[in-house]
Amino acid sequence: SEDDSQFNNKGESQTLTVGSKQLLIRQFAWHQANANQVWPGTFILANFMEKHADRYNTSLLELGSATAALTIYLRLIGFNRIITSDIDDGGEVAENGDFNTLQNGLEPVVHIPHTWGTGWQRSMGSLDTAK
């Protein structure tokens, strides 16, 4: 019989079309907060951002960055000032985002681990909002 106590959360890199680009993205079978995969909204938002790029000549904060696929795509089409954020899980999400960024030929961006509803520490700095 198989030993079910030894779950292997192996990551697999796949080539995905995000907007007009082919990206190599590692996704995992499981994550405690579902930050392990590229969600359908990524593709919709990528298409919107590319179509309306002239509206967004500013810094961006990607909330719920998970695999960093959207950030990678946006950087490839010219957005350069991006900060990512996702659950504070001890670094798993940040490490996977960095891995994906590097395997697509880019340097990782600043990542702020933050679990929603836990408050914002002043030591993390402040961010401006776009209106």
Question: Is 110 a domain residue?
Answer: yes
- Asked whether residue 13 is assigned to any structural domain, the reply reads no
CATH code, domain carrying 62: 3.40.50.150
Domain count for the chain, please give it. 1
- The Cα 112–Cα 131 span in angstroms is 22
**Predicted structure pTM score:** 0.82
Distance CA 50, CA 27 (A): 24
Range of the domain at 66: 36-116
Please indicate, yes or no, if residue 83 is contained in any of the structural domains.
yes
Write the CA distances from 95 to 12, 66, 129, integer angstroms.
Answer: 14, 10, 26
Specify if 1 maps to a domain: no
Q: Would you say residue 21 lies in a domain? A: no
Residue 70 has pLDDT above 70, yes or no: yes
Amino acid at position 45, single letter: L
Tens of pLDDT, residues 71-97: 999 999 998 889 999 888 888 889 999
